[in-house]
Every structure is written in structure tokens, then in C-alpha cells.
Amino acid sequence: MNSILVTGDSKGLGAEIVRVLLSEEKYLVVGISRSKNSTIEDLENKFPSTYVHVNFDLGNPDEIKNLYLKDIKKYGQFVGLVNNAAIAYDDIVTNARVLPLETMFRINVYAPIIFTKYIIRDMLLNKKQGSFVHISSICAHTGYKGLSMYSATKGAIESFSRTVAREWGGMGIRSNCIAPGFIETGMSDTLTNEQKDRIFRRTSLKCATNPLDVAQLAAYLLSDKSKCITGAVLPVDCGTI
């Protein structure tokens, strides 16, 4: 069975992507997040033969090589990677501090790049074509106060994805980004209802983005149904742009 790696599988959008992929019953899904929780345990119980969780702190991208060799490579031939895990350093740039900024870039940019490196190598070794899906954000395309530094990480991953698509398209390897709009997840817990309403009013549909819609698009981009789509950034944002 072909395998797909999904980072940030323990909650929110990552868990939804894992559920959608497992429901298709054609992949072994390897999920990565810092620790196991009840969401992961539920997925393990429901999909014992097609879902594997691995604990790993993405703030340590220099350890990804060992992680791949010891804990990931053994789970089969990879045909896909979803770089979903991310953190937000939420502050205006005049308050920027190097340490939290470095931590955010390590998780949001460096780790996805290094995971991409090893999954491409896995594809080449096993003569597999495949697809990469990087979860970006609408913040990379329209400004939100306090998210300039976070949006910089998402702009970086979009540029990276476009060039990966160009570098490896000749080998049948595709790379795309999804730019979700506002999703009510743990990242948004600090927002007041008034702040959320202001965000919703900026959209055409006047509502939050449904994570299931994003997950279904990710599954589509990982499948052969999207074999002519690469180097793209696809918004799922209720009409924000």
C-alpha cells in the first residue's frame, strides 16, 4: 500500500485531512505531531491497519533525517506529503523578538523543506510519482494586523512549493499549496467574537472556512485526479481574496 505523511495530525485541520485520507481506504497514513492525544487514539482505534502516529517536535528540523530513517521509511513507499503543522507568532512587527520568530520559521518553513527533501528521495528510490500539499494561509495574500511575521512564513512556503514543482515535474512529482481562510481552530482561541465577526465580514460568504473543504481539496491534490495541477496556490477562503 502506498503511504502519505501528514504533519500536525493531532488536531484541527491536520486531523481532518487524516480522516479524509483514511476514509478513502487506499493509503497508509503516517501522522506526525509533538505528542499523542485523544484524537490520535480515536484514529488509531478506528483505522488500526492504515494509520500510524509518530511523536516528533517539528521545532527540531535537524533531527528529521534520523526520524525518517528510524521511524518513517519503514512504513512503505511514499506518494504524498502534507506539510500542515504550523504555529503563529501573533504580534506586530515593532514587537518582533528573534527567539519566537526563529521557532516559527523552524516549524513553518525549515521542517516542511526537510520533510520534502526526504520524501522526494523516497519517491526517487522507489520510482514513485507523487504529490506534495503545503498548507499556506490567506494571510500570505491579504493583510491581517498582527500576522505579518506569520504571513512571511507562508509566503516562503508558497515560493518553495512553486520551485519544487518546476524542479521535479519531469519526474512526475507535483507540488501545490492550499491557502485556507479563517478556520476556527486552537490558533484562533484568543480571538474575541467581535474580532471573528470582523474577519467574517471580509469574506464573500460571511463565514469561517470549513476544515472539511480544505481536507477534501488536499485529498484531491494528492490523487491522480489532479495530475495536471502543479505549482498552484489554491484558496479555500469563503471568497476573501
Q: Is residue 226 one of the residues assigned to a domain?
A: yes
Residue span of the structural domain in which 207 resides = 3-236
Decide if pLDDT at 189 tops 60. Answer: no
In whole angstroms, give the CA distance from residue 113 to residue 106.
10
Name the residue with cell 507523487: 130
CB atoms within 10 A of CB 93: 10
Provide the pLDDT for residue 191.
64
Phi, psi of 203 (to 5 degrees): -95, 160
- Taking phi over 0 as left and psi of -120 to 50 as alpha, with beta for the rest, 7 belongs to beta
H/E run at residue 135: strand 130-135
* Residue 241, in any domain of the structure: no
* 49 found inside a domain: yes
Helix, strand, or coil (residue 92): coil
192 within a domain of the structure (yes/no): yes
pLDDT digits (tens, 9 = 90+) for 210-230: 999 999 999 999 999 999 999
Q: Is the pLDDT of residue 187 over 60?
A: no
Q: Which residues pair with 234 in a beta bridge?
A: 178
Total of domains in the chain: 1
**In terms of DSSP H, where are the helices of the chain?**
12-23, 38-46, 64-67, 98-105, 111-125, 148-168, 193-201, 211-222
The helix (H) or strand (E) run that includes residue 55 is strand 51-55
**pLDDT per residue over 126-149, tens digit each?**
999 999 999 999 989 988 888 899
Q: Is residue 218 a part of any domain in this protein?
A: yes
b/e burial code for range 43-60 (CB count within 10 A of at least 16 → b): beeebeebbbbbebebee
**Residue 4, all three cell numbers:** 502519505
Q: How many CB atoms lie within 10 A of CB 205?
A: 12
Tell me, yes or no, whether 69 lies in a domain.
yes
Distance in angstroms (rounded) separating the CA atoms of residues 100 and 132: 27
Nearest to 40 by CA among 2, 11, 65: 11
- pLDDT, residue 185, reads 64
What pLDDT, in 10s, does the model give residues 95-131? 999 999 999 999 999 999 999 999 999 999 999 999 9
The answer to whether position 181 is within a domain reads yes
Q: Say if 51 falls within a structural domain.
A: yes
State pLDDT tens for residues 35-63. 999 999 999 999 999 999 999 999 999 99
**Cα(102)–Cα(99) distance, rounded to whole angstroms?**
5
Q: Return d(Cα 150, Cα 165) in angstroms, integer.
A: 23
d(CA 112, CA 153): 11
Q: For position 145, what pLDDT does the model report? A: 84
Kindly state the percentage of the chain with pLDDT values over 70.
Answer: 95
pLDDT of residue 190: 58
Distance CA 182, CA 238 (A): 9
**Residue 110: its pLDDT value, please?**
98
Q: Residues with Cβ < 8 Å from 70, sequence gap 6 or more?
A: none
The domain spanning residue 163 has which CATH number?
3.40.50.720
